[in-house]
Structure formats: structure tokens, C-alpha cells
Structure 1
């Protein structure tokens, strides 16, 4: 489980490391970081509007997104079958599981962006 204080401290530490980079590398780092960072509001909107897992695709988590989408679609298909309760159960289960991500979208994306910052810092630090 993600801890807000730990994620905040990690972000601050990464920002300090970024400012210590030489000028040219720092400029390149921030340009690439700007392209790769994810927006928590977009993530939350994709989750809210489409509980089918589209927010996982936004982060490049294709397998998890496909799993959620398939479970959701199976639930929809089962709603119109002789077993509609199974369809309802599938939809409710996937929706409840994804509500956690909806309400924690800020910290999830902050942690995701910290991972991007860490990876880029490693790339630019090793290039020195």
C-alpha cells in the first residue's frame, strides 16, 4: 500500500537529484520528463467514466487493462444470457476493485511519476 508521506519524500529527493544534474543534462531530463509524466486527473477520469480498465492502458499496463476489459465485457454479455446474476457479479466485482484506484488516483500517479523520474535520473546520471 502506498504511503503519502513516503511518496512525497521520494518525489522531493528525486527533484533535488535532478537539480544537481549539469545544465545540459538537466534540460534534457526535464524535456523528456515532461513528455512521459502522467496526469492524475486523466487517470481518474478514465477510471470514472470507464470502469472497464482504460486507466491501465493510460499507464501502459496492457495486460491488466485487457483483463479488466475482458471481465467487464463478459459481465455485460452475461447480463443478456440465462445467467444474468453472474454478469452482474462480474461487473460489481470489477467496479469495486477499480474504485480503490479511483479514490487513490493522486497517489498512484504520483508514485508512477516518481518511478519515471527515478529511471530518467539513472539514465542521465550514468551518461555523465
Structure 2
């Protein structure tokens, strides 16, 4: 999963290794890899904007992390309900959401690079397994 404490150097090493593996594919598999990758990778700026403007985890939905999305939406809904009926516990939930969300905002570039690396690794495995027909 995503690890915001992974060093940039480690991530770059993994990405470079992936590039070499993709270069070693035959033309048809490499074409498949890049076609799929262009459709499935995510934009770090979109992730950051979703995190910044929409509290409640919509950025997790963007990265297909549905469990985190539902967890944060539930916390947000509980906080709004608690605050609307005058329960101070709602402020605690809001504070907890902020503590979780801020690092994700500050590390958005790295989080999405890790996600894209993970997706690209899956696509590489698919490309290797496929019996591709040459055009």
C-alpha cells in the first residue's frame, strides 16, 4: 500500500527498474503496456485538488481506495450530525479528519506516484501474461 515515508530514492529505483522491464518487452506487449497505462494512471494534481476542496475522502475514491473513502465519509457525516445537534465530539472527528487529510495533501505527489507505480506493475504482469496478436 501507500507509504508516505518511503524515500523518493527508493521510489525512483523501483520506477527505473520497471522502465527497464518494460523496455525488454516485445513491441506488441510494450504497446499494450503503454495503452493500458495511459488509461489507468492518475494525475497527482487532480488528487491534491480533490483533497484540498472536498473534505471527506473523495480523493480516495479517485484512487479506487473505496474503503478509505467510505471511512472518511462516515466520519464526516458523523461529525456534521454531532455538530448540528450540539455534541462537541463532532469537533474531535473534524480534528481527526484534518490530521489524516493534511499529510495526504502534502504528500499527494508521492502518494499518486506510488499508486501509478503499483498500477504499472500490474499492467506489466498483464502484458507478460497476454498472448498478444501482432497487427
Shorter chain as denominator, the TM-score bin is over 0.9
- Structure 1, unpaired ranges of 5+: none
Query: Which has more helix, going by share of residues?
Result: 1
Q: Does 1:24 pair with 2:28?
A: yes
Supply the distance in 2 between the matched residues of 1:73 and 1:43 (Cα, whole angstroms): 21
**TM superposition shift of 1:80:** 1.4
Which of 6, 9, 26 aligns to 1:5? It is 9
Supply the distance in 2 between the matched residues of 1:57 and 1:43 (Cα, whole angstroms): 10
**TM superposition shift of 1:2:** 2.0
Question: After the TM superposition, which segments of 4 or more aligned residues of structure 1 sit over 6 Å from their partners?
Answer: none
TM-score, length basis structure 2: 0.89
Q: Within 5 A, what are the aligned runs for 1:1-128? A: 1-83=5-87, 85-127=88-130
- Report how many aligned residue pairs link the two structures: 127
- Structure 2, unpaired ranges of 5+: none
Supply the distance in 1 between the matched residues of 2:58 and 2:116 (Cα, whole angstroms): 18
Report SS of the residue matched to 1:38.
Answer: coil
Q: Cα RMSD between the aligned structures?
A: 1.1
Report SS of the residue matched to 1:107.
Answer: helix
